[in-house]
Chains A and B, each alone.
Chain A
């Protein structure tokens, strides 16, 4: 009998056309390829160099204009033109400025269970929540994937993360993933796949699973993977992709390099302090820290569920006069739903600058760059020095609940104390 397989081994095997296991190196067929406006132009240039300006699968090759969208300066406008031209020439899909962050758009529209997705963006791992093997690579790797429909992988070893217990009130998947990264370190899972499971994960919404998968790379992992279930199926149905549902689960007795058990029953709202994601603490340890800017959004926490949490806290309140508040829905669909539900009105009345779907200030290209010595609390996934446009800035990471409560108080605040 064949050796039992982890999720990573299973999905990669099905696209390699043979059984492969951790440590094997193999070529695989790629289902979906993606680039964004920061990495796409170089990918296009590499394809020109190789004389391979084509897409093996144009319907599932997606070019996202999201990182600097709408463009703040002419160099970036010219980069965007390269992507539009490539899309016209090859039939590849174009996601324009205002349509949203690549990873949110990928899960909403393009990626299905069992797929392999390679994207020229490190948080490509987000789609792993759908039972796809999704990983970030550089422009050249992805350009080759676009043209040939193939890439090579070293099959990763897997860390199994078993989650049990019920989340306390106002403690979320974001707190769990920050806690986990604090536990194992920013390089704690380098080259590995993280496979999430356990009773708490079984009960989790897709939004929470996306948040966990999104941040797998912050522990160095190659992928963050989930089995598929009824929740996955319902999500796909809602998005009009029900027919692409497939049961994907690891085999009983699969070989895990490490098993980490986490009980969330006593988890506290968790924060990453400057300048690394693994520099974590509980909110109570740094309560009262002054904050100049709060940012709610990104591929980590810019979904409708996140905006709902923020809206509940901000309803009828205003931001502290010394604290700016920036809110960016992760995609156009999220934006529309937030409008319909009245959240956008709540945000604007609370004094927020609500901006077009995209990456917003997350990567420091435009919108909300920090001043010297300024402090930002953000719902994004990384807080490296210089991340928000200024190496003299300080970034804390949290859940949307902590972020919204902090915007009102003007200092880092435990959401359990305000609602």
Chain B
């Protein structure tokens, strides 16, 4: 990853088991072909104010098993569209994790107990370091698998396939 992959922003904190139904509710199924509209409701069922308050560069910070549930890729897509630069969680559900990389949304596994709501963070994707500027502490996040780094570096799976005219992961 390039050195420019440094993000700075404040945090929004969520608990364990934030499901894709919290992020992109089924009752808004009809908005799935209208992503900008759907993005206005991102995470609404977990925090009704989130989409109004989030600013470009901010981080979503959660507990265990973030993104469990359905395969709807709309979930990471609208988190990214809301301006979120990365999601930090203790663990992620499998499909969400893979979808997030495919749409170019960094997902980082770390001990989020050490981060509070509204902390100011600086995350360096290339070095794997999260600086908590509010608390003046540092955290490490686990590195992504190589195949995922390749996809993320290309900007997502669509871009990866376009660039290499197929998969180029091995």
Contact = CB atoms under 8 A, between A and B. Distances in A.
Interface string A218-229: 001110000000
Interface string B77-101: 0000000000000011111001100
Nearest to A75: B30
A125 to B, nearest CB: 10
A106 to B, nearest CB: 14
Given A138-B73, A386-B27, A152 B91 contact: no
A415 to B, nearest CB: 28
Contacts of B31: 75
Contact of A141 (B64, B98, B169): B98
A162 interface: no
A390 interface: yes
A38 B27 CA distance: 12
A35 to B, nearest CB: 10
Interface in A19-73: 25-27, 38-39, 41-42, 46, 49-52, 67-68, 73
Interface size range of chain B in the complex? 35 or more
A351 B68 CA distance: 35
B158 A389 contact: no
Contact of B70 (A50, A79, A121): A121
A385 B167 CA distance: 37
Interface string A350-370: 000000000000011100010
B133 interface: no
A190 B94 contact: yes
Interface in A179-236: 186-187, 190-191, 217, 220-222
Interface in A118-170: 119-122, 124, 136-141, 144, 148, 150, 152, 154
B72 A138 contact: yes
A144 B98 CA distance: 14
B19 interface: yes
Given A25-B146, A122-B70, A140-B99, A391 B30 contact: no
Most chain-A Cβ atoms within 10 A of its Cβ — which of B31, B71, B147, B156? B71
A382 interface: yes
A190 B93 contact: yes
B8 interface: no
Interface in A247-291: 276
A25 B145 contact: yes
Given A363-B29, A365-B29, 10 more contacts: A50-B162, A138-B71, A140-B99, A140-B156, A141-B99, A144-B157, A150-B167, A186-B65, A187-B17, A391-B45
25 contacts: A27-B169, A42-B73, A67-B29, A121-B71, A122-B71, A136-B95, A137-B71, A138-B98, A140-B99, A140-B102, A140-B156, A141-B98, A141-B102, A141-B157, A148-B167, A152-B147, A187-B65, A187-B91, A276-B17, A363-B70, A364-B21, A364-B29, A386-B21, A387-B26, A391-B45
Considering the complex of A and B, which 3 residue pairs feature the smallest CB-CB distances, nearest first? A138-B73, A138-B99, A364-B26
